[in-house]
Chains A and B, each alone.
Chain A
Amino acid sequence: MTGVDVLDGSPASPPRDNGEIVFEAPWQSRAFGVVISLVEDAFFSWEEFRTQLIVVIEEWDAQDDGDRPTWHYYECWLEALERVLQTRSHFKGRELDDLAAAYLDRPHNHDH
């Protein structure tokens, strides 16, 4: 076992066509795909998204260790996406919060 095995939690496998599983939950791949789609269709630029992602990660890094939540890269990614969409006025007011809250209230929500 190499050091990378330990760090990565996955075997340091040789290259293969499909690489490795890099998303740990389906929502992470959805959040990723949404950003790529919006960038490719020029709703915002990659640079604009990246700038926001850097800000969110910096905020995370700046927290004291004690207060710092478990590192979740794709939560930073999602937060950055939300901020870009708000800045670009693609989302109005609290419509995202409201819809998310409505989904949470579903009797048999999909959150599991």
Chain B
Amino acid sequence: MLFALREGDAVNEHSRPNQGAASSPEVRTEALEDLLIEKGLIDKARVDALIERFEHDLGPLVGAKLIARSWIDPEFKTRLLADADQVLQDEGIGGAEIEHVEVKANQPSIHNLVVCTLCSCYPWALLGLPPSWYKSSEYRARAVREPRSLLRQMGLDLSEEVEIRVWDSSSETRFLVLPERPAGSDNMDLEALASLVTRDAMIGVAKATNP
């Protein structure tokens, strides 16, 4: 069954990608971290702080605010599409140390979809960490091979006339989709507009939510 495979369903030693020394990933991670601390390569408090940042400070609201602003401000939209890195720098959006970001705008005749076919590259600074399905082999394969059918299965039925452009992320470049502004949102302010921009819309597996 498609997408039935989810990480974390049942953790046991047989599920390791390579059958090395048999031990659970919990224990192995604990041992690995302790060894690295002992060797002075990492500091526990710093790892705590990094996890905290990725889990709580970086999330899709960061990206959603950029999208909402570009709906309101055409000049900002032009800058975001031309040089997202500069915009992120100007806006003081951190966490982009290993990312070059490009923003791709949906149009009535063009729909953009983001995938990382080889692993799980993702615009962390703008969306936080990727959902589990983004990392699944099914999504990675089908996004390129049959994006229209994949999107339909995920609840987005695009007309045959709409061209789907699939952007394969890499360690050099991460992509963010700029979804179209939904009808009926004319009088909404930035904050209200941002609430229409879901993570899935910025990956390209959904449209922005209707108000």
A residues with a Cβ closer than 8 A to B are: 2-4, 6-10, 12-34, 36-41, 43, 46-47, 50, 53-54, 56-61, 69-76, 78-79, 81-82, 85, 90-91, 94-97, 99-104, 109-111
Contacts and interface: CB of A to CB of B under 8 A. Distances in A.
Contacts of A71: 5-7, 136-137
A34 B7 contact: no
A104 B25 contact: no
Nearest to A99: B31
B90 interface: no
A35 to B, nearest CB: 9
**Which among A2, A7, A37, A41 has the greatest number of chain B C-beta atoms within 10 A?**
A7
A58 B118 CA distance: 8
A36 B50 contact: yes
B42 A22 contact: no
B42 A34 contact: yes
Given A9-B132, A19-B127, A37-B47, A101 B21 contact: yes
A69 B16 contact: yes
Contact of B128 (A3, A22, A97, A104): A22
Q: Binding site of A, secondary structure by majority: helix, strand, loop or mixed? A: helix
Contacts of B127: 19
A63 B135 CA distance: 17
Contacts of A30: 29-30, 33, 47, 51
A6 to B, nearest CB: 8
Interface stretch (B71-79, B81-89, B107-115, B190-198): B190-198
A104 B51 CA distance: 25
Contacts of B130: 22
Given A15-B61, A32-B51, A74-B7, A95 B135 contact: no
Given A91-B35, A100-B32, 19 more contacts: A3-B156, A9-B132, A12-B200, A14-B195, A14-B209, A15-B63, A15-B197, A16-B61, A17-B56, A19-B58, A24-B8, A24-B132, A27-B30, A30-B29, A47-B171, A70-B5, A71-B136, A72-B7, A110-B26
